[in-house]
Structure 1
Amino acid sequence: MAEDVVHMADVTKRFGRAPPALEAVSGTIGGGEITGLVGPDGAGKTTLIRLVTGLMRPDGGALTVLGFDTGREAPRIQAAIGYMPQRFGLYEDLSVQENLDLYADLRGLPMPERAGTFDELLGFTDLKRFTGRLAGQLSGGMKQKLGLACALLRKPRLLLLDEPGVGVDPISRRDLWAMVQNLTREGVGVVWSTAYLDEAEACDRVLLLERGRLMFTGPPAELTGRAAGRVFKLTGLAGRRRPLLARALQQAGVVDGVIQGEAIRLMLAPGAEPSALARGVASAGAIAPAEPRFEDAYVDMLGGGPGGRSKLAEAATARMADPAHPVIEARGLTKRFGDFTAADGITFTIPRGEIFGLLGPNGAGKSTTFKMLCGLLKPTAGEGRVAGFDLRRDTAAARGRLGYMAQKFSLYGDLSVAQNLAFFAGVYGLTGARKAGRIGLMTEIFDLGARRGQSARDLPLGLKQRLALACAVMHEPEALFLDEPTSGVDPITRREFWTHINGLVEKGVTVLVTTHFMDEAEYCDRISLIYRGRSIALGSPDELKASAANADTPTPTMEDAFVALVRRSDAAEAA
């Protein structure tokens, strides 16, 4: 095994009077392996990476990288490492080739070596076809590949990747992962920062941070093993899964639970008997042991999930189902930008009280479809309706019946939490006592009272998402549009979010959601998989997984199904 390339001893970093961003972190990072730096937004991952690069100095402790002290020898470290920051750090108004040229200049890559290096990296990242395209016009996955290429212009001994998988579809994430694994075989040490726990599970070892403290270090399987014998899957359930999950989460001894297609996955506290689950939860179904996952043990370590109760849903007005009148309709929706067709004949209907997922690779057309149904883009052809209103003719009326939570934090950063709540209440037409009552209720439900005067931009990501959801449901919409709503948040916040959504759906709210988080897709009743502007598959999560099963993968995950269906579409088109 290669030697360790980073040594940390009681590393501490403070910013002003706030609690330490890192507090007495000790550990090592090995060469020739992938070390996962794991934790939610605000855990200290980016701070630790910037300390390792020598861009910042620790306030306490000792930190050496490749044998060099980060405080005294930062330039020597920076000459020997590669670094890909969390936010796209390249120049969007330069082409792929121009970005490579610029970074070659910055890295001091000799002219005679450039042609060969560029050719190797463009082949490695499959970007040869796109050298003339502006970086700002690349999909999320292609941007990450270009960032990786620029970080590798001079082969580093240590490569630091700050959340490279955020906002990237499963196929691109697999491509990135394969590239990084190839580098470790050449002895390069890799740090892969992530909030995705399936990525953490694939690492050789992990450093798990929570609020600046190191909670665990070691192989992922070591932590996963702590949940062995306590995870169960409930199948063949009678009735709707969501109320059954909520009921199970309220039972003593149940630590955590999630929906998994038509089944429910539960984790019990140590010593709890699985037979207790049968009482009022799985009496008509079957209970079987399930393999624990890294996420199970992580949630357990944090004290378990948030439970099954949603105060938001309890306060919501119930809406009666009406099968004859779907809440969201897409009929032949098409959008062209010049000669490019971003969405081509998209058709589906969503009844009241259903969660419908739009999945697809970056640049496939799902966001275009999503925006047409929100009234944010006018279709070139076809028809979209929300709550019976035609989005072409009755855009304002349709928008008044829907709530929208954007992929990127879309509230007003210069306004305080209270001002954002008041602004969106006004936008949705609330006035007087109704307005004051809903603002007060949202403040209480989402625990925003202590932050009312704080600027929205300064909130931690989890609280930003709470505020965004509070604003989206302020007016009790019939339809809720969620564009990658939990990207980058911790699993506890993600569960809290879905507890609210599941509860609202049981009250008759209809949800359209896009996500790259495949476990999250399991919450959907049905999914449309969009690829190259067309819907290539439509069905429940279990139906899509079953359609992708084969001899090599008899029980595919949702991610396996996503990849298999896209590749099947490519093969059919090539035939």
Structure 2
Amino acid sequence: MTAAETGRGDKPLVRIDGVTKRFGDAPAALDAVSGMIGGGAITGLVGPDGAGKTTLIRLMTGLMLPDTGTMEVLGFDTRKNPAGIQAAIGYMPQRFGLYEDLSVQENLDLYADLRGLPKSERASAFDELLTFTDLKRFTGRLAGKLSGGMKQKLGLACALLKKPRLLLLDEPGVGVDPISRRDLWKMVENLTKEGIGVLWSTAYLDEAEACDHVLLLNQGKLLFSGKPDDMTGRVSDRVFRVSGMTGRRRQVLAGLLQADGVIDGVIQGEAIRLVAAKDKKPDIGSAGDGATLAPAPPRFEDAFIDMLGGGPGGRSRLAEAQEPTKGDDDRPVIEAKGLTKRFGDFTAADNISFDIRRGEIFGLLGPNGAGKSTTFKMLCGLLKPTGGEGRVAGFDLRRDAAEARNQLGYMAQKFSLYGDLTVMQNLEFFSGVYGLRGKHRRERIDLMASIFDFGRHVSQPAKDLPLGLKQRLALACAVMHEPRALFLDEPTSGVDPITRREFWTHINALVEKGVTVLVTTHFMDEAEYCDRISLIYRGRSIALGSPDELKARVATKELPDPTMEDAFIALVQQSEAEDAA
């Protein structure tokens, strides 16, 4: 790879040559990785959690040393002069290296001291960075009280107190809503115009497409190095859109994923997006006589799935073992009637109303701090509403909370498992919590262990599992008692694309058995799986409809075919304009 390939800079800022790093007896966190990072460009370090991204970044900072291979950063060998590197770079760690009990200004003051910024330069630097990040109005607010996007902006400001030649950002967009992510991208793009080299680590594959250059990691190995277009070019003539289908789209997708010539497929509103095998045309006969097949633009994720050998197919053993849920299709399974939650003078959720029918996926979307998590927590009984009411399977969450919780399964990316308990102990604990007893309890535990292939991991603490297995375990625990409703709170953040496909194959198939799903997500492509979406902003529901209906609301001559992200941002901006009028 030449220096020109790394970006717009003439000389690489980072040279990585055959770097390997191991921790104990585990497989190599990095396995003979080589690459370059240029100046004046954004290099994407892309891959799922556990791919080796954070390890590689820490090696660049000199905080760790490689077992074998060499790394040179800004002309310094990381083994010989880590202090020289640390004085010259900007670094924003993944785990938010700010002090949440200090204000925005106090964090800036502290980092200015740590970075040795002369007091004579501080006023102008603070003013420039607070303007750049739009945080001037919040200098007195505690960092812990900021939204996720504002925290990331403050972290970026602290990393830029002394203008670096190289800026290392470890997953700055994780858990951040589309508006905040777009703001962060604009800020970082402006930095590259000053010649700064930026390494942007991410598990969001759509972010890879915005980079000048990409290093793609998976399980410690470098799978690809080059321009994003070179990656998507692998599948340029193999991506299709199926429309005009007969029957329920989830059933059609499951059938198409088993069809000859199809290696991957996802729901996209009322249509289905397919990736074909090389030199194969997808067989869409199972989609009905009226179905049509048209070429679609390829995405980075399409090419990544192709590189990994294709998706998991359309079969769900979990759903096959599930008895169809009972209930009246005309009666809502989940109901929100005027739900309101106040914390002192602050209204987090204001008169939220909707209902979700049997066998429906309903999405709660919204920027960080908008009130969607508050609404979600009220509906699954974790938070008592100030006003209004919520019901699950007919049970009032105020009066019959225990009965309501027995009808639902809850899954979150964090906190829904007990890390110090083993896989088997988690399965046993949750089966007991959900009231399973005797032979039936043992049968369900054995079934979950078999379906999700926990075999050799049953004695392993949950905290030590790879993220994909943690997600499978969390889903197994949530569906142990065959609930009528599933509450999914950011369920796939950070997992690899194959595991995400596997997860949604299970969810789609469970919905076909009558299970009702309420989901929050920052993945806009996952929002396409929803039958309907409520967009929450400033504590209110500002839009309600199907993905295609929300996209149609913001379509213009200039943007005739908007994405869900375009719709999300446009609807929020419309709401802001209406509030300001």
Kept in 2: contact 1:465–1:486 (CA 8 A): yes
Residue 217 (structure 2) aligned to one of 209, 212, 219: 209
1:525 paired to 2:496: no
Aligned to 1:330: 336
Aligned to 1:466: 472
Deviation of 1:396 (Å):
0.4
Aligned equivalents of 1:558, 1:322: Cα separation in 2: 32
Corresponding letter in the other structure for 2:551 = K
Aligned to 1:270: 278
Deviation of 1:407 (Å):
3.8
Aligned equivalents of 1:261, 1:158: Cα separation in 2: 40
Residue 256 (structure 2) aligned to one of 238, 248, 266: 248
Kept in 2: contact 1:162–1:194 (CA 8 A): yes
Aligned to 1:224: 232
Aligned equivalents of 1:431, 1:146: Cα separation in 2: 50
Kept in 2: contact 1:250–1:307 (CA 8 A): yes
Corresponding letter in the other structure for 1:230 = R
Aligned to 1:41: 49
Aligned to 1:370: 376
Aligned equivalents of 1:357, 1:273: Cα separation in 2: 33
Give the SS at the match of 1:79.
helix
Corresponding letter in the other structure for 1:411 = L
Aligned to 2:151: 143
Residue 558 (structure 1) aligned to one of 555, 564, 568: 564
Aligned equivalents of 1:506, 1:346: Cα separation in 2: 27
Aligned to 1:114: 122
Aligned to 2:320: 314
Cα displacement string for residues 155-193 of structure 1 (whole angstroms, at most 9, x for unaligned residues) = 010001111111000000000000000000000000011
Corresponding letter in the other structure for 1:12 = T
Aligned equivalents of 1:195, 1:284: Cα separation in 2: 37
Give the SS at the match of 1:344.
strand
Residue 413 (structure 1) aligned to one of 391, 394, 419: 419
Give the SS at the match of 1:454.
coil
Aligned equivalents of 1:474, 1:508: Cα separation in 2: 16
Aligned equivalents of 1:12, 1:321: Cα separation in 2: 56
Aligned to 2:31: 23
Kept in 1: contact 2:413–2:471 (CA 8 A): no
Give the SS at the match of 1:280.
helix
Cα distance change on mapping 1:340 and 1:407 into 2, 3 Å: farther
Residue 295 (structure 2) aligned to one of 289, 301, 312: 289
Give the SS at the match of 2:13.
strand
Kept in 2: contact 1:36–1:203 (CA 8 A): yes
Kept in 2: contact 1:80–1:157 (CA 8 A): yes
1:195 paired to 2:203: yes
1:60 paired to 2:68: yes
Cα distance change on mapping 1:162 and 1:282 into 2, 3 Å: farther
Aligned equivalents of 2:261, 2:456: Cα separation in 1: 32
Give the SS at the match of 2:84.
helix
Corresponding letter in the other structure for 1:467 = L
Corresponding letter in the other structure for 2:452 = F
Aligned to 1:514: 520
Q: How many residues align?
A: 573
Deviation of 1:283 (Å):
2.5
Deviation of 1:236 (Å):
1.6
Aligned equivalents of 1:428, 1:507: Cα separation in 2: 20
Aligned equivalents of 1:149, 1:420: Cα separation in 2: 41
Kept in 2: contact 1:364–1:533 (CA 8 A): yes
Deviation of 1:90 (Å):
0.6
Residue 448 (structure 1) aligned to one of 454, 464, 471: 454
Aligned equivalents of 2:340, 2:219: Cα separation in 1: 45
After the TM superposition, which segments of 4 or more aligned residues of structure 1 sit over 3 Å from their partners? none
Aligned to 2:3: none
Aligned equivalents of 2:62, 2:317: Cα separation in 1: 46
Deviation of 1:321 (Å):
5.6
1:165 paired to 2:186: no
Aligned to 2:504: 498
Aligned equivalents of 1:366, 1:178: Cα separation in 2: 26
Give the SS at the match of 1:36.
strand
Cα distance change on mapping 1:141 and 1:474 into 2, 3 Å: same
Kept in 2: contact 1:322–1:351 (CA 8 A): no
Aligned equivalents of 1:139, 1:282: Cα separation in 2: 46
Aligned-CA RMSD value: 0.8
Give the SS at the match of 1:25.
strand
Aligned to 1:124: 132
Aligned equivalents of 1:65, 1:522: Cα separation in 2: 42
Give the SS at the match of 2:35.
strand
Aligned equivalents of 2:459, 2:132: Cα separation in 1: 49
Aligned to 1:13: 21
Cα distance change on mapping 1:153 and 1:517 into 2, 3 Å: same
Aligned equivalents of 1:409, 1:282: Cα separation in 2: 43
TM-score (norm 2): 0.98
Aligned to 2:441: 435
Residue 403 (structure 1) aligned to one of 399, 409, 421: 409
Aligned equivalents of 2:420, 2:250: Cα separation in 1: 37
Deviation of 1:320 (Å):
4.7
Residue 553 (structure 2) aligned to one of 519, 526, 547: 547
Alignment of 1:62-101 (within 5 A): 62-101=70-109
Aligned to 2:481: 475
Kept in 1: contact 2:536–2:543 (CA 8 A): yes
Corresponding letter in the other structure for 1:474 = M
Aligned equivalents of 2:117, 2:296: Cα separation in 1: 51
Aligned equivalents of 2:476, 2:578: Cα separation in 1: 44
Identity %: 76
Residue 349 (structure 2) aligned to one of 328, 338, 343: 343
Aligned equivalents of 1:236, 1:170: Cα separation in 2: 30
Deviation of 1:37 (Å):
0.4
Give the SS at the match of 1:4.
coil
Aligned equivalents of 1:184, 1:420: Cα separation in 2: 47
Aligned to 2:182: 174
1:236 paired to 2:244: yes
Deviation of 1:324 (Å):
2.8
Aligned equivalents of 2:412, 2:103: Cα separation in 1: 28
Aligned to 2:365: 359
Aligned to 1:571: 577
Aligned equivalents of 1:574, 1:374: Cα separation in 2: 34
Cα displacement string for residues 35-93 of structure 1 (whole angstroms, at most 9, x for unaligned residues) = 00011111100000000011000011110001100011100000010111111111111
Corresponding letter in the other structure for 1:370 = F
Give the SS at the match of 2:214.
strand
Aligned to 2:5: none
Aligned equivalents of 2:343, 2:278: Cα separation in 1: 57
**Structure 2 gap ranges (5+):** 1-7
1:425 paired to 2:393: no
Residue 494 (structure 2) aligned to one of 475, 488, 501: 488
Kept in 2: contact 1:409–1:468 (CA 8 A): no
Aligned equivalents of 2:440, 2:127: Cα separation in 1: 63
Corresponding letter in the other structure for 1:197 = L
Kept in 1: contact 2:246–2:287 (CA 8 A): no
Aligned to 2:4: none
Deviation of 1:295 (Å):
0.8
TM-score (norm 1): 0.99
